[in-house]
Amino acid sequence: MSARPADGGSPRPLHPRRRGARLRRWAAAVVFALITALLTGPQAWASGGVWPLEGPVVRGFDPPEVAWAAGHRGVDVAGGPGDAVRTPREGVVTFAGMVAGRPVVVVDHGETRTTLEPVEATVLAGSRVGAGDVVGRLIAGHDCPSGACLHWGLKRGDDYLDPVSLVGGDVRLLPDAAVAQISRRADERRALAAALGATGGFAGGSGALAVPTDGRITSVFGPRFHPIFKEWRLHQGVDLSAACGTPIHAAADGTVTHVGFDASGGWRLIIAHGPLGGVDLQTVYLHAQGYRVRLGERVARGQLVGTVGSTGWSTGCHLHFSTKANGRHVDPQPWWST
């Protein structure tokens, strides 16, 4: 690096101190630019999501309790045949073709990937796309109340995530008809619980199940406005608010059929109680700090099995407790002793 004299003569070398000062200023500018990019990058990512389709959510994200069980591993957005489908984030199209007879488009965003179906692709695999770019056209074929629905999924590795998180959680609420539908489902399940209790001799208050922790009921079984996803969903159990670390006890004698961690339920425990009065009954415990029992272990009613926590999709320390009768979620309260 050199400087040219005012008289136009030959350039002379910079003094080492001046050269070092320039290098330091250049390095500082580069570091500042990198820090700025790091600080602003996530903010742009968090606010730059685009809904893939103009329409309301007619079915929300409702993952299964365990990976192999039935559930809804994405959201359904109402639309019409031929509607443009857009990628919610920038990324690379890694797949555009048929899966099990349905056209699917997959966009890789780096740590996560979006799946869109049934969508006839207008892009090729390997194409780089920006947030909001059209990647295909919606076709009929996905079961939903409208003429056509987009099933929008999101995965990180093998884990299913709520795709609405890509657009900052600004959920467009379910239509009023969906709220009524959820209420009907809750009423049907309450009726089923009452019927099972009556036929099996376990009517409410008879003590088939013990209350699993010393807590205050803050959310009951039935339709509710979800505190995290801001949409109406069927709450499939009862929330018992208690301090983190409060003991959790087995509600009845049984066998541990699942102990594990997942994104939605946090630390999850499932106990099978076998046929009780002709009813195949299971209890499910979510959001714990952890559990002290193992898969296959026999437990007794009232046995300490874990402690209350706030893991998974949780807004505070509590136990989500649910019951399944013959494979269907039912209201736990009619089964509790009083």
In tens digits, the chain (338 residues) has pLDDT values of 444 444 444 445 545 455 555 555 555 544 444 443 333 333 333 346 888 988 777 777 776 655 555 556 788 888 888 889 999 999 999 999 998 888 999 999 998 999 999 999 999 999 999 999 999 999 987 776 556 889 999 988 878 888 888 876 444 444 445 555 555 555 655 555 555 443 333 333 356 899 999 999 888 887 655 555 455 466 788 999 999 999 999 999 999 999 988 877 889 999 999 887 678 899 999 999 999 999 999 999 999 999 999 988 787 899 999 998 888 888 888 888 75
Alpha carbon 230 to chain centroid distance?
Answer: 13
pLDDT number for residue 285: 95
- Please state the pTM of the whole predicted model: 0.45
pLDDT number for residue 329: 81
For the chain, the structural domain boundaries read 13-41, 57-167, 176-335
> Are 57-167 and 176-335 in the same CATH fold?
yes
Euclidean distance between CA atoms 23 and 25, whole angstroms? 5
Measured CA angle at 115 (ends 113, 119), to 5 deg: 145
Other residues' Cβ atoms within 10 Å of the Cβ of residue 34: 10
pLDDT number for residue 39: 37
pLDDT number for residue 54: 81
Name the class of domain 57-167: mainly beta
**Most distant CA atoms of the chain, gap in Å:** 108
Measured CA angle at 254 (ends 220, 320), to 5 deg: 20
Handedness of CA 273, 275, 279, 280 (dihedral sign): positive
Euclidean distance between CA atoms 197 and 151, whole angstroms? 37
pLDDT number for residue 223: 65
CATH 2.70.70.10 fits 176-335, yes or no: yes
Burial code (b: 16+ CB inside 10 Å, e: under 16) for 148-157 equals bbbbbbbbee
Helices (H), the chain: 16-47, 176-200
Q: Which element (helix H / strand E) includes 127?
A: none
CA 50 to each of CA 45, 73, 74, 122, 165: distance values in angstroms, whole numbers, following the listed order:
11, 20, 16, 18, 11
pLDDT number for residue 186: 52
